[in-house]
Amino acid sequence: MFGNALENYELGKVKFMENDSWLKVKEFVKVNVGESAHSNWIKPIELKEIKNSVAKFFVPTRFIGTWVERNYGDYILQGFKAQNVKIDRLEFLAVKLKDEINSDNQKTKKPFKKESVYESKELVLPSSPLDERFTFDRFVVGKPNELAHAAAKRVSDGGKVTFNPLFLYGGVGLGKTHLMHSIAWSIKQKNKKARILYLSAEQFMYRFVQALRFKDMHAFKKLFRSVDVLMVDDVQFIAGKDSTQDEFFHTFNALCEQGKQIVISADRAPGEIDGLEERIKSRLAWGLVVDVHPTDYELRLGILQAKAEIQTDLNKDVRIGEGILEYLAHRISSNVRVLEGALTRLFAFAALVGREISIDLVQECLSDILRTSERKVTIEEIIRKVSDHYNLRMSDLISARRARSVARPRQIAMFLSKNLTSKSLPEIGRRFGGRDHTTVIHAIRKIEELKLTDVQIADEVEIIRRTLEA
């Protein structure tokens, strides 16, 4: 009897130590992945036991177990290592297995009931972490993005919105993701109970595939149809993936019928995403489609001024010389991420070497960025600018249409592509709907001739060129 009590005491002691270690590991993971990811993925996990250097956990579904192991497994192992607990491998057991084990231990013959995390009263939203820096307060508004900002603010205000979905499109580093995160933070602030699901199109596809693999489509559908706001980033990723598109289409329709808000982002307008089903293009164009334009000089300067204030607070000993921000705004025009990264690098470098941020320091520290920014106009940018100037769709310039209203702007775009990029004639032709290089040569010669005889054409070409080089 005494032996059994001692054994139970020792077992209890071991269990307590294991749980204590797990609590510390969860805190470690939380610090490294953020509060949102921790709440959605790590918090629902329950430690079963640690045996033979293997940590076994109970998870609501196999899908969650697979996701945690794939994305956060290394952090969990590092956390145990920090507690001096040797763990070589992680195992995740679905809740149903836990019930099955309990049933076996009790020697009962109760019929097994399949359970899913989605069948609980409060469905766990496997949302991607939201960046705390990406709020409306920190979003610098200028002419290129004022419409996108206004639309995002309107969605975040809640209530009935006249447009659904909100579709944001534009190049890399122009603020689409920032606006989506801002919407989510703003809605959460106003309504803590709001169910917001933010994820990339790649994550949507991955979860769909996992649901198919584990024969859990009912749970998948229930989850995605239970949200108040669905936000999908980089939707062009699902182009060409028929099954994923089909499920996305039905999810989209179900949420719209319920009056739920949908926010989508992509690098192109719906009609210009190759491999996307026409019915999805049609649905995405239902609402408000907003082009987030490349930044102009004034907006880049405004962003730099806002970021410089933050950096100055963090690096109080660092002084920035006059005209530096203006110089950076003029020289680095590729995208906001590069711009912010350059400023962060400058302040870090200046703080380390104890120097003022001067033109010499800029050229020394940012030589690689400045070199790549010398001439970074892309053919896609040229097509976009020419389309905007002549009020055409980008798809018109790469189509087979021969109408003069389309053919002339196409020739101008080809001419500018040759003069403003280092691309070869065959490559330019391929970018314009697979045309032969001789077509490009003809276009270049035609515009060169027209510039000498037609003042209007010459002026229009110059205006577009200046816009591209701004």
Average pLDDT over the chain, rounded to an integer: 81
105 pLDDT higher than 60: no
Whether residues 180 and 234 fall in one domain? yes
Determine the pLDDT at residue 465: 83
Determine the pLDDT at residue 113: 41
| Inside any domain, residue 128 | no
Whether residues 287 and 407 fall in one domain? no
| Inside any domain, residue 365 | yes
Determine the pLDDT at residue 151: 92
pLDDT band at residue 132 under the 50/70/90 scheme: confident
Roughly what angle, to the nearest 10 degrees, separates helices 62-82 and 2-33?
A: 100
Whether residues 17 and 146 fall in one domain? no
Determine the pLDDT at residue 210: 80
List, for residues 19-48, the tens digit of each pLDDT value: 778 888 888 888 777 776 777 788 888 888
The size of the chain, in residues, is 470
CA distance 92 to 159: 41
Residue 129 CB neighbours (<10 A): 16
Residues 6+ apart with CB under 8 A from 179: 139, 148, 149, 152, 168, 292
If one counts the domains in the chain, the total is 4
Determine the pLDDT at residue 128: 66
Mean pLDDT of 158-168: 81
356 pLDDT higher than 70: yes
115 pLDDT higher than 70: no
List, for residues 250-274, the tens digit of each pLDDT value: 888 888 888 888 999 998 888 888 8
| Inside any domain, residue 160 | yes
Whether residues 163 and 216 fall in one domain? yes
442 pLDDT higher than 60: yes
Determine the pLDDT at residue 221: 84
Which residue's structure tokens are 């709440």?
Answer: 39
Q: Kindly report the CATH number assigned to the domain that includes residue 354.
A: 1.10.8.60
Judged by average pLDDT, the poorest of 117-121, 282-286, 404-408 is 117-121
Whether residues 32 and 99 fall in one domain? yes
Whether residues 99 and 33 fall in one domain? yes
Q: Which of 272, 291, 310 is the last residue of a domain?
A: 291
Whether residues 148 and 281 fall in one domain? yes
Whether residues 254 and 351 fall in one domain? no
Whether residues 350 and 247 fall in one domain? no
Determine the pLDDT at residue 122: 43
Determine the pLDDT at residue 412: 93
Residue 32 CB neighbours (<10 A): 14
Whether residues 50 and 179 fall in one domain? no
| Inside any domain, residue 127 | no
Mean pLDDT of 322-329: 88
List, for residues 213-238, the tens digit of each pLDDT value: 777 788 788 888 888 889 998 888 88
> Which has the closest alpha carbon to 133: 75, 182, 61?
182
List, for residues 61-86, the tens digit of each pLDDT value: 777 787 788 878 888 888 888 888 88
Q: Give the H or E element holding residue 361.
A: helix 359-365
Of 125 and 51, the one with more pLDDT = 51
Mean pLDDT of 10-26: 66
Whether residues 269 and 182 fall in one domain? yes
3 pLDDT higher than 60: no
Bond before 165 cis per omega within 30 degrees: yes
Whether residues 152 and 105 fall in one domain? no
Determine the pLDDT at residue 374: 59
Q: Which of 356, 372, 388 is the last residue of a domain?
A: 372
CA distance 10 to 220: 42
Half-sphere exposure at residue 302, Cβ-oriented, CA atoms within 13 angstroms: 13
pLDDT band at residue 414 under the 50/70/90 scheme: very high
Residue 114 CB neighbours (<10 A): 10
Is-contact 183 289, C-beta < 8 A?
A: no
| Inside any domain, residue 124 | no
Determine the pLDDT at residue 152: 92
Determine the pLDDT at residue 95: 65
Determine the pLDDT at residue 17: 62
What domain range includes position 352? 297-372
98 pLDDT higher than 80: no
Determine the pLDDT at residue 298: 87
Q: Kindly report the CATH number assigned to the domain that includes residue 412.
A: 1.10.1750.10
Judged by average pLDDT, the poorest of 124-128, 323-327, 461-465 is 124-128
| Inside any domain, residue 6 | yes
Determine the pLDDT at residue 317: 86
Q: Which of 291, 309, 324 is the last residue of a domain?
A: 291
Determine the pLDDT at residue 8: 46
Determine the pLDDT at residue 125: 57
Q: Kindly report the CATH number assigned to the domain that includes residue 141.
A: 3.40.50.300
